[in-house]
Amino acid sequence: MPMRKNYQRRDRRDDAPQFNIDQWEPRTELGKRVKARQVTSIEQIFNEGRHITEAGIIDALLPNIKNEIVEIASVQRMTKNNRKAKYRATAIVGDGNGHVGVGAAKDVEVKAAVDSAIEVAKFNIIPIMLGCGSSQCSCGTKHSLPLIMRGKCGSVEVILKPAPRGLGVVANKPVRKMLEMAGVRDLWSFSRGRTRVKYNSLMATYRALQNINSIKNISAIAVNYASK
Domain edge (last residue) among 44, 61, 78: 61
User: Does 165 fall in a domain?
Assistant: yes
Q: Give the pLDDT score at 17.
A: 67
Per residue in 20-38, pLDDT (tens digit) is 888 888 898 999 999 999 9
Mean per-residue pLDDT over the chain, rounded: 84
User: Does 202 fall in a domain?
Assistant: yes
In the predicted structure, residue 180 carries a pLDDT above the cut 60: yes
In the predicted structure, residue 208 carries a pLDDT above the cut 50: yes
User: Does 182 fall in a domain?
Assistant: yes
User: Does 68 fall in a domain?
Assistant: no
In the predicted structure, residue 87 carries a pLDDT above the cut 70: yes
CATH number of the CATH domain containing 209: 3.30.230.10
Residues 74 and 2: beta-carbon distance below 8 Å: yes
Question: What percent of the chain has a predicted confidence (pLDDT) above 70?
Answer: 86
In the predicted structure, residue 157 carries a pLDDT above the cut 80: yes
User: Does 127 fall in a domain?
Assistant: no
Domain that includes residue 54, residue range: 29-61
Domain edge (last residue) among 13, 37, 61: 61
User: Does 176 fall in a domain?
Assistant: yes
Q: Give the pLDDT score at 228.
A: 47
**Which letter, b or e, does each residue of 13-28 get, where b requires 16 or more Cβ atoms within 10 Å of its Cβ?**
eeeeeeeeeeebebee
Domain edge (last residue) among 42, 61, 80: 61
Distance, CA of 64 to CA of 2 (rounded, Å)? 33
Q: Give the pLDDT score at 139.
A: 81
User: Does 57 fall in a domain?
Assistant: yes
| pLDDT: which is higher, 107 or 137 | 107
User: Does 111 fall in a domain?
Assistant: no
Domain count, the chain: 2
